[in-house]
Amino acid sequence: MELVLERETPRVQEHDEAPSAQALAGNETVGEVEKDRRIARSKRALKDAYISLLLERGIGGFTVNDLCTRADLNRGTFYNHFADMDELLVSLENDVIEDLRHFQEPMRNIGIAGLLRHKLTGEPFPFLVDLFDYLREQSDFFIALLGSGGDTRFSAHLRDTVCTDLVLGVLHKDYRDAPTAFVNYYVAFYASAYLGVILQWYLTGMKESSDEMARIAMRLFLIQPGDPIEL
C-alpha cells in the first residue's frame, strides 16, 4: 500500500501571507457593502449588541427588546433587517466562518513537504499559530457558541469547513478524490478531534500561547498510541 500523505503538493504557505487576526476581526467580512450607510450602521449596531448580550446571557437569554435597547435602535428597525433573532445569529456565524476561510488556502497546501519540514525544524506551521491567534481574539464568541448552551449548527458548520479542510490538506490525492467510507470516518475523526482540542483550550482558560497550541496540535496528529506522552 501507499503513503497517505500528499506528495505532489507545492510549498508551505508563507507566514506574512496569512491574514492577521486583527484584520479579520473587522466588519463587512461577508457579502457586498451596503449602499445606504443607515443600513450598515443599524446592522452593525445590532450585531455588536447581539454579541455583547450573547456573552452576558447566552443564546436565548435575551429578547428582541433587550437587543434593540442595547443597540439603541427601534424594534421595528430590527425586523427591517432580520426575520428573527436566529437569522441574526446565523449571520454572525457566517461572518466568523468567512473569516476562517482565509486559513483554508495554507491548510490545503501543507502537503508532505510541509510535514517533512516540520519534522526537521520542529517548528509548527505558521498559519496554525495565526489560527490560534484568531481563535483567542474571538474566544468569547466561540466559547458562547461552542460550549454548553451554544449552537450545534455552528459546531457542525465549523467541523464541516475548517477542521475538515485541515485534515483533507494532508490527505493523499487519491483518497481525497475517491474517498471510501473508512476515509470519511478518518476525516471525521480528526476533524472532530481538533474541534475538541480547541474547546479544551477554551475551557481551561487559554493558558497556552498560540505557538504552544500549534505545537500541541501538530504533535497530536503525529502521535501514536503507545508513544511516550510528554511535552
Partner DNA sequence: TGGAAAATCAACACAGTGTTCAATAACTTT
Partner DNA sequence: AAAGTTATTGAACACTGTGTTGATTTTCCA
Question: Pick from 79, 153, 184, 220: which binds DNA (CB under 7 A)?
Answer: 79
Question: Pick from 7, 57, 153, 173: which binds a second copy (CB under 8 A)?
Answer: 153
**Torsion sign over Cα 135, 138, 139, 145:** negative
Question: Pick from 155, 176, 206, 211: which binds a second copy (CB under 8 A)?
Answer: 155
First to last CA, the chain: 32
Backbone φ/ψ region at 36: left (φ over 0), alpha (ψ -120 to 50), beta:
beta
Q: Does 178 bind a second copy (CB under 8 A)?
A: no
The radius of gyration computed from the CA coordinates of the chain, to the nearest angstrom, equals 20
Q: Does 20 bind DNA (CB under 7 A)?
A: no
**Which three cell numbers mark 59?**
443564546
Question: Pick from 11, 15, 38, 153: which binds DNA (CB under 7 A)?
Answer: 38
For the beta carbon of residue 42, count every other beta carbon within 10 angstroms.
Answer: 19
Interface residues toward DNA, by CB under 7 A = 35-39, 41-42, 63-65, 72-77, 79-81, 83-85
Interface residues toward a second copy, by CB under 8 A = 1-5, 115, 146-153, 155-156, 159, 170, 172, 175, 180-186, 188-197, 199-201, 204, 207-208, 216, 219-231
